[in-house]
């Protein structure tokens, strides 16, 4: 994982970039890496087919060669392949090699715009998880409508065991402290009612764990409370979180279509609505990370792993690399470990 001593000594954060991952890889990934390397506190390792990457990089090398290096990887994992293949069938694929560099201390962070599953599995298998976290989680802030609220998990874990909700609460709490500057985040569990008896088996059991955790747990909240700011951290499984995320992000667009249709006979008002909704639609985008930082961190991995949408172009890739660098500097992994260490999560993990 990231070694802060090395960072201080070298003055640069080293980011291993999965240069073969993404819809426009490697061209846009290399271009994005070159953009990111314009900052003098980052060193980038482009991981993938060395000959192809050297050719791409040659287009830019005259201005930005010094802190971008190519690291060879003989395999590529494609979107249509099983992410699990990175472990046994394609251990030399670009994302796996990048993950191994983080584990070996040769890089401080990993970035990939390729298969999210492959990145997550490479992170789990080759970097490892911090104690108390079983699988990575995605955390995002709700943005404009609820600027002091984050939700976790946004889709990394479809089926969750009760103790995972507890770990999500801690990851969300660290996010709220580090990125939203909330001193003692209020944590709530998303359920079908405020009573602790509401919800499915995992949620009911998670309620008890959270209640007895010593965290600032305020109880269950319902869907209607998501945007009212009652909670700073809303915990749910990745199935619920991902459905909500996509629904939430679609609201602005549909509201605009509906309102414009209602005002069909009033062109001036319709034009006004169009202008207003230009501002509203971005407000329904979950996560400042997605919008400004070009992707999300896989929380719980024992190192910084940043993933981005496959359709990312060079500017988004540069932003994502930049934010991976900032996450290393902010010491989010160390913060998460410290918070997890305060709770004895091992007692909730039956296999241990």
H or E segment and range at residue 329? helix 314-330
Our finding on whether 349 is near another protein (CB under 8 A) is: yes
Q: Which stretch binds another protein (CB under 8 A): 92-100, 105-113, 120-128, 279-287?
A: 120-128
User: Does residue 148 interact with another protein by CB under 8 A?
Assistant: no
Given 30, 121, 170, 333, the residue binding another protein (CB under 8 A): 121
Tell me the site size for another protein, rule CB under 8 A. Answer: 16
Residue 133's SS3 state is coil
**Alpha-carbon span 300 to 154, nearest angstrom:** 14
Interacting residue with another protein among 84, 208, 257, 311 (CB under 8 A): 84
Query: Is 98 or 124 the residue whose CB approaches another protein more closely?
Result: 124
- 28 vs 85 by CB, closer to another protein: 85
Dist CA 307 CA 109 (whole Å): 11
User: Stretches 65-73, 196-204, 289-297, 343-351: which one binds another protein (CB under 8 A)?
Assistant: 343-351
Among the listed ranges 68-76, 141-149, 158-166, 168-176, the one in contact with another protein (CB under 8 A) is 158-166
How far apart, in Å, are the Cα atoms of 154 and each of 100, 114, 158, 237, 242?
26, 18, 9, 8, 5
Q: Which single residue is written with the structure tokens 């390729």? A: 114
At residue 44, the 3 state secondary structure works out as: strand
User: Which of 4, 6, 82, 148 contacts another protein by CB under 8 A?
Assistant: 82
Q: Which is nearer to another protein, 84 or 272 (CB)?
A: 84
Is there binding between residue 124 and another protein (CB under 8 A)? yes
Q: Cβ of residue 302: shortest distance to another protein, in angstroms?
A: 16
Q: How far is CA 136 from CA 5, 26, 167, in A?
A: 25, 26, 10
User: Which CB, 214 or 351, lies closer to another protein?
Assistant: 351
- Least distance (Å) between residue 170 CB and another protein: 17
Q: Which stretch binds another protein (CB under 8 A): 15-23, 118-126, 170-178, 277-285?
A: 118-126
Q: Confirm if 219 and 264 have CB atoms less than 8 A apart.
A: no
In the bound complex, what is the minimum distance in angstroms from residue 310's beta carbon to another protein?
A: 21
**Residue closer to another protein (CB basis): 163 or 289:** 163
Out of 62, 224, 268, 350, the only residue in the binding site for another protein (CB under 8 A) is 350
Q: Which residues contact 74 (CB under 8 A, 6 or more apart)?
A: 49, 92
The reply to whether 352 sits near another protein by the rule CB under 8 A is yes
With respect to another protein, which residue has the nearer C-beta, 84 or 257?
84
Residues 6+ apart with CB under 8 A from 20: 26, 29, 47, 48, 49, 73, 76, 93, 94, 95, 114
Return the number of the residue (91 or 331) whose C-beta is nearest another protein: 91
Choosing from 62, 159, 183, 264, the residue that interacts with another protein (CB under 8 A) is: 159
Instruction: Answer yes or no: are the C-beta atoms of 283 and 133 closer than 8 Å.
Output: no
- 37 touches 317 (CB < 8 A): no
Q: Whole-angstrom Cα distance, residue 126 to residue 117? A: 14
Residue recorded with tokens 């070009």: 294
In terms of CB distance, is 80 or 197 closer to another protein?
80
Which residues, in sequence order, are CB contacts of 16 under 8 Å at separation 6+? 45, 47, 71, 97, 98, 99, 101, 102, 106, 107, 109, 110, 111
Between 26 and 55, how does the x/- string for binding to another protein read (CB under 8 A)? ------------------------------
- Residue from 50, 52, 87, 182 touching another protein (CB under 8 A): that is 87
Residues forming the site for another protein (CB under 8 A): 82, 84, 87-89, 121, 124-125, 134, 159, 161, 163, 349-352
């Amino acid at each position: 994982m990231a070694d802060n001593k090395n960072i201080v000594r070298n003055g640069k954060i080293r980011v291993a970039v999965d240069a073969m991952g993404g819809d426009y890889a490697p061209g846009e990934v290399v271009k994005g890496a070159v953009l990111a390397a314009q900052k003098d506190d980052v060193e980038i390792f482009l991981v993938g087919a060395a000959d192809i990457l050297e050719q791409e990089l040659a287009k830019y090398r005259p201005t930005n060669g010094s802190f971008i290096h190519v690291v060879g990887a003989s395999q590529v994992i494609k979107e249509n392949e099983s992410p699990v293949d990175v472990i046994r069938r394609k251990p030399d694929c670009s994302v796996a090699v990048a993950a191994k560099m983080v584990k070996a201390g040769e890089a401080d962070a990993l970035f990939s715009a390729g298969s999210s599953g492959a990145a997550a599995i490479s992170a789990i298998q080759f970097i490892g998880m911090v104690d108390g976290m079983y699988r990575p989680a995605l955390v995002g802030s709700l943005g404009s409508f609820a600027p002091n609220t984050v939700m976790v998990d946004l889709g990394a874990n479809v089926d969750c065991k009760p103790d995972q909700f507890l770990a999500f609460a801690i990851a969300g709490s660290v996010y709220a402290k580090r990125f939203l500057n909330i001193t003692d985040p209020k944590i709530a569990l998303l359920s079908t009612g405020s009573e602790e008896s509401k919800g499915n088996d995992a949620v009911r059991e998670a309620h008890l764990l959270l209640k007895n955790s010593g965290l600032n747990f305020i109880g269950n909240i319902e869907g209607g409370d998501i945007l009212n700011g009652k909670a700073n951290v809303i915990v749910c499984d990745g199935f619920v979180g991902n459905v909500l995320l996509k629904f939430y992000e679609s609201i602005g667009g549909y509201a605009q279509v509906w309102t414009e249709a209602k005002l069909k006979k009033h062109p001036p008002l319709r034009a006004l609505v169009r202008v207003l909704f230009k501002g509203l639609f971005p407000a329904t985008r979950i996560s400042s990370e997605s919008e400004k930082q070009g992707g999300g961190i896989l929380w719980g991995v024992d190192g910084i792993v940043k993933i981005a949408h496959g359709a990312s172009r060079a500017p988004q890739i540069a932003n994502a690399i930049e934010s991976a660098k900032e996450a290393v500097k902010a010491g989010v992994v160390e913060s998460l470990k410290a918070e997890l260490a305060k709770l004895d999560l091992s007692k909730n993990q039956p296999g241990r």
